[in-house]
Amino acid sequence: MPRPIAAHIHLSALTHNYNVARQHAGSAKVWAVVKANAYGHGLHNAVQAFAHADGLALVEVDNAIKLRELGWTKPILLLEGFFHGDDLHTVQQHQFDIAVHCNEQIEHLEQAKLSVDGESSIIKVHLKINGGMNRLGFKPEAVAAAYQRLSAIAAVKVVDLTMHFANADDEHNARLPMAEQMRRFELAKASLGEIKLEASVSNSAANLLKHDLPNSWVRAGIMIYGASPLPASAAELDLLPAMTLRSELIAIQEIAAGEAVGYGSRFVAPKPMRIGVIACGYADGYPRHAVDGTPILVNGVRTALVGRVSMDMITVDVTAISDAKVGSEVIMWGQGLPIDEVAQSSGTIGYELMCAITGRVKLITEV
Ligand SMILES: *Cc1c(COP(=O)(O)O)cnc(C)c1O
C-alpha cells in the first residue's frame, strides 16, 4: 500500500468555479489560468473540468504542448510568451497565442523567418503593458513602436493589449492604485490612435471586484481553484474547494503534562494529551512554517497542529477526539477546511499551498 496521503481533485468544483468567474466577467471571455500544473490540480483534470472554457493560459511551453496532446483544441495563451527563439516554431506549430513583453522577444520574432501558410500559421500576440508593476511589459510610451515592429512581421498579428495588476485586491493602494495602472493602460491604448485592439486586464481579484474594466478576456486563476484572493472568504464568493489534501493518522502518542513534541521540542503539553501523527510533511508540500494551532480536521473534527512540521509527518492534538485512532481520516485543507485559513496560519496564501504539492502526492480525480 502507498502512504495514505493524496490530493483529491473535485472536477465539479472546478467547473462550478469557472462558471462563477464567467458570471463576473460579463460579456468578456475567460481564460482559465492553468500555470504551475493548474495550480497543483493537474493538467489532465483541468482539461476535463474546464472543457467548456474559452481558452487556457499558462507560462510553461512544455505544458502547453501537453495540453494539445491531451486534446485541447481551443486557444492556449502563453502568459509570458516564449523564453527562447527556438520555441517559436513550436509556438507556431501548436497555434499558441503569446504575450510579448520586451524588445528581445520582438527581435526573435523578426529573426525567426517564420513562414506564413494560411490563417492558422499566424501567431496571435498579446502586447503586454507595464502599468507600474515593473515586472513585465512595455511602458506606455514604448507601446506604439513595439506595435509597429510587430505589425511588420508577416507571421504575427497583434490581437490585444494586456496588463497585470499589482494591487487588484487593494484598489486604493497608496503606492499604485488600480486607477493609476488603468491610466497608464489607457495611455498605451491612446498611443495607437485609430488602431483598435482587444484588452485583457483582470485577474481573479479584479474580476471579482470590478465589473467596469475594459476586458475582452479576463484571466481567472486562483478563484477557479476555489480559494479567495480577497479578504472575503471563498464561501462568501460562492467558490468551492477544488483540492482536498487528505491523509491518515499513522500513530497515536499519549503524553504527560510537560512533555514536548517533535523537532526542537517546540510544543510542550500543558496537560496530559493524545497526539496524532499524520502521514504528511513538508516533503508533501505542507508548509513548514505552520504554527501551533494551525487548523486540521481529524475524523471531520477541527483540531490543531502541535509541534514543528517535519519532512514526512505532522502532529495534532486529538485529546478531545475520542474516536481518533490509527487509520483515522485527516484533512489538511479542502472540503470542510478552507485552504485560505491554513495559509493564514503559515504566513502565506492559498496559491502557494496548492502549487507546493509535491510529486510524491498522488492526485485522485473525483467528480
Ligand atoms: C497567474 C496569472 C493570472 C491569474 O491570477 P489569479 O490571481 O490567480 O487569478 C492572471 N494573469 C497573469 C498574467 C498571470 O500570470
Fold category of 11-226 in CATH = TIM Barrel (3.20.20)
Distance from Cα 41 to the centre of ligand 1, integer Å: 16
CB 79 less than 6 A from any atom of ligand 1: yes
Cβ contact 18:204 at 8 Å = no
Can you give the pLDDT at residue 193? Answer: 96
Cβ contact 345:293 at 8 Å = yes
| Domains of the chain by residue range | 11-226, 243-366
Distance from Cα 48 to the centre of ligand 1, integer Å: 20
Q: Is 118 helix (H, G, I), strand (E, B) or coil?
A: coil
* CA–CA gap between residue 258 and residue 267 (Å, rounded): 9
Q: Could you list the active site residues?
A: 35, 263
Nine-digit cell string for 25? 466577467
Of the candidates 184, 194, 125, which has an alpha carbon nearest to the alpha carbon of residue 160?
125
Neighbouring CB atoms inside 10 A of 25's CB total 20
Residue 217 DSSP code: E
User: Of all atoms in ligand 1, which is nearest to the CA of residue 203?
Assistant: 9
Of the candidates 78, 123, 130, 76, which has an alpha carbon nearest to the alpha carbon of residue 102?
130
CB 221 less than 6 A from any atom of ligand 1: yes
* CA–CA gap between residue 15 and residue 219 (Å, rounded): 15
Of the candidates 24, 34, 30, which has an alpha carbon nearest to the alpha carbon of residue 52?
30
Q: Is 326 helix (H, G, I), strand (E, B) or coil?
A: coil
CB 203 less than 6 A from any atom of ligand 1: yes
Residue 150 DSSP code: H
User: Of all atoms in ligand 1, which is nearest to the CA of residue 168?
Assistant: 7
Distance from Cα 201 to the centre of ligand 1, integer Å: 10
The answer to whether 274 is a known ligand-binding residue is no
User: Of all atoms in ligand 1, which is nearest to the CA of residue 33?
Assistant: 4
Can you give the pLDDT at residue 2? Answer: 86
The preferred substitution site among 59, 79, 161 for testing ligand 1, maximizing ligand atoms within 8 Å of CB, is 79
Cβ contact 92:114 at 8 Å = yes
* CA–CA gap between residue 228 and residue 233 (Å, rounded): 6
For residue 22, give every residue at least 6 positions away whose Cβ sits within 8 Å of its Cβ, in sequence order, or none. Answer: 30
Can you give the pLDDT at residue 1? Answer: 80
Nine-digit cell string for 343? 495559509
* 342 exposure class (CB count in 10 Å sphere: 0-12, 13-18, 19+): buried
Query: Does the global pTM surpass 0.95?
Result: yes
Instruction: Kindly report the backbone phi and psi dihedral angles of residue 4, in degrees, each rounded to the nearest multiple of 5, phi listed first.
Output: -75, 0
Neighbouring CB atoms inside 10 A of 182's CB total 17
**How distant, in Å, are the alpha carbons of 32, 120, 178, 183, 197 from that of 188?**
26, 28, 15, 9, 11
For residue 200, give every residue at least 6 positions away whose Cβ sits within 8 Å of its Cβ, in sequence order, or none. Answer: 31, 126, 160, 161, 162, 163, 215, 216, 217, 218, 219
Query: Which residue's CA is minimally distant from atom 6 of ligand 1?
Result: 221
* CA–CA gap between residue 16 and residue 28 (Å, rounded): 18
- Find the distance separating the first CA and the last CA of the chain, reported in whole Å: 24
For residue 49, give every residue at least 6 positions away whose Cβ sits within 8 Å of its Cβ, in sequence order, or none. Answer: 11, 12, 14, 15, 18, 242
In which residue are the cell numbers 516533503 written? 283
User: Of all atoms in ligand 1, which is nearest to the CA of residue 219?
Assistant: 10
pLDDT in tens, the chain (367 residues): 889 999 999 999 999 999 999 999 999 999 999 999 999 999 999 999 999 999 999 999 999 999 999 999 999 999 999 999 999 999 999 999 999 999 999 999 999 999 999 999 999 999 999 999 999 999 999 999 999 999 999 999 999 999 999 999 999 999 999 999 999 999 999 999 999 999 999 999 999 999 999 999 999 999 999 999 999 999 999 999 999 999 999 999 999 999 999 999 999 999 999 999 999 999 999 999 999 999 999 999 999 999 999 999 999 999 999 999 999 999 999 999 999 999 999 999 999 999 999 999 999 999 9
The answer to whether 178 is a known ligand-binding residue is no
Of the candidates 88, 181, 197, which has an alpha carbon nearest to the alpha carbon of residue 144?
197
Fold category of 243-366 in CATH = Lyase, Ornithine Decarboxylase; Chain A, domain 1 (2.40.37)
